[in-house]
Each structure stands twice: as structure tokens, then as C-alpha cells.
Amino acid sequence: MGMYDSIVITGGRGMLAQAIVAALAARKLSAVAVDRAAVDVTREADVRKLFAVHQPTLLINCAAHTKVDLCEDETEKANAINGHAVGVVARSAREHGTFVVHYSTDFVFDGSGRSPYRPDHPVGPLSAYGHSKLLGERLLQEHAPPEWLIVRTAWLYGRGGPSFPRTIVERARKGGPLKVVNDQIGSPTYTPDLAQATLDLLDRRETGIWHLTNSGQTSWFDFARSALGYFKVNANISPVTTAEWFKMRPKQATRPSYSVLDVEPFTRAVGRPMRHWEEALRDFASNVGEGGFS
């Protein structure tokens, strides 16, 4: 990481950006983390000023509209932040010779597969969110800076923001029954682990599209049950199918039924996999117990 003497992180208040800042600090490296109030990545003037002032050698783009269901009603906003803004960043990065890391999602796939998706597998998003993130991927490559890295990840959670385990635990503590989908399969990913894995790729100066998640796979229902267990919360929780869930909440975005990502290239490159999702979730519960979710 020593070759990156000026590191800028957009979306600086998000939980992934916070985890990256912490991972850099553990290496005695610092970064300028900017939030939307400081830099609106959809505004080319803001982005150009950011590059002019900080002259980043590495820019890590964590700015995103991540409310998947809301994206269905805010398609234009999702495309602006998740899509067109990435092109804006890429153009400035190309002018300044900046290495760009950009995060994408398992939602670029249609979920019809039954084996882990490779980085080169044909895409086919089902939701407005997935379409907007795919647009961002394509614009980064269309306006490619000298070096770029797209990291697709999935089912992200961690400290410093809303996440599925937090939602489940907080709802359970309020009482009442919980219903969770049991026929969508994926791999939960803990933000500190994703941050560390990203730095591992940067250490090797890897480029292109990579898939990074914690190891193993599960359903949302079993993910929820594990979270309740590690947080020591009793709850009345029952599984439902996606079809049943849509009957209860018809305005939900369509999610891939299977979105496990093939992380073997990372394992081969670095020499070890990211740890199992249950081990990471246990760590999350332990750390949250010390100071609460926020």
C-alpha cells in the first residue's frame, strides 16, 4: 500500500467506508473520507474539485444508493448515484492517473444459476438497484482510468449503518413474530473482512473484476437465526417463501434466488479465503455487544 500516497474515499460516512478507514489505520495509513455533504459524486464540478485539491493516487468509491427496495421508486436517483456518478469519477481518475476501486453487487446476476457466479458470468439484473450498479460497472470500464478494480460483494453488514442482522435483532427485541425468506441463497459479508480483502488485492495491485464475500452460503432465514443466536435474543421466527413475502410486501424489489459469488480467484491470489460467514457474524455480535450498533 505504500505506493498510494494520497487515498480518498467517497461515501465516507457509510459502514464500508468506515471499515476501510479502520483497516488503513491499522496499517498506519490515513485517507481522506468525504461524504455527500462535502462531495456530491453526481456533480462533475464537485468531483473535479476533489481531484484537484487532493490529487489522489487511489480513490475508493463507496458512494452508493443501497436501499434496494427504494430504488424501485427512485430509479433516476439510483442510476445517478450508482451509475452515472461512477463515469464522472472514472473520467477525472483517467485525467489524473488515479487507481479506482469501485464496489458492485451480486444483484447484477439473475439468480437462475446454481453454482457460484464467476466474475465473467453473463449478467442479468432483476431490480432497479441491480441495473444501476451494472451501469456503474460499465461506465467505469468505458471511461477507464489507467488501473481499476471492481469488487462485487453481497449481503453486506457491519457497524456504523443499517444492516440485516441489526434489523432482525432490533425487531426481535421489540417482540412479535418475525417472518424471513428461506429460498434466497447467498453469502453474508462483514465490512471489516471486505475492507481487509480489498487491501490485500491492492497490495498485489490486482485489477479487473473480483468477487469478495465471506466463505460459505446460507439463506436469509438461517442468517437471521444465526444472528439472533449470537446476539442471544429469543424470537418467534418462521420461514416464508419469496412468493409469500411478495404477497405481504408487493412493492419489494425482485432479488436473485441464488447469488453466491465465486471467490476462488481471491483465495488463489492471496493464499487464503475470507473467513466463514458464521465466524464473522459471531465477531460482529461480540464487537457490537461492547458498544451498541452505532
Alpha carbon 53 to its chain centroid, in Å, reads 27
117 DSSP assignment: B
Q: Distance (Å, rounded) from C-alpha 79 to C-alpha 91?
A: 17
Whether the Cβ atoms of residue 12 and residue 184 lie closer than 8 Å to each other: no
Question: Which value, to the nearest 10 degrees, does the dihedral of the CA atoms of residues 190, 192, 193, 194 take?
Answer: 80
Phi-psi region of 153 (alpha: psi -120 to 50; beta: other; left: phi over 0): beta
CA distances from 36 to 15, 69, 94, 198, 205 (A): 14, 21, 22, 23, 28
Residue 84, beta-bridge partner list: none
Active site positions, annotated: 129
Give the CA radius of gyration of the chain.
19
What phi and psi values does residue 30 have, to the nearest 5 degrees?
-120, 160
CA distances from 121 to 50, 137, 253 (A): 35, 14, 22
> What is the Cβ-side half-sphere exposure of residue 131, based on CA atoms within 13 angstroms?
15
Q: Distance (Å, rounded) from C-alpha 291 to C-alpha 294?
A: 8
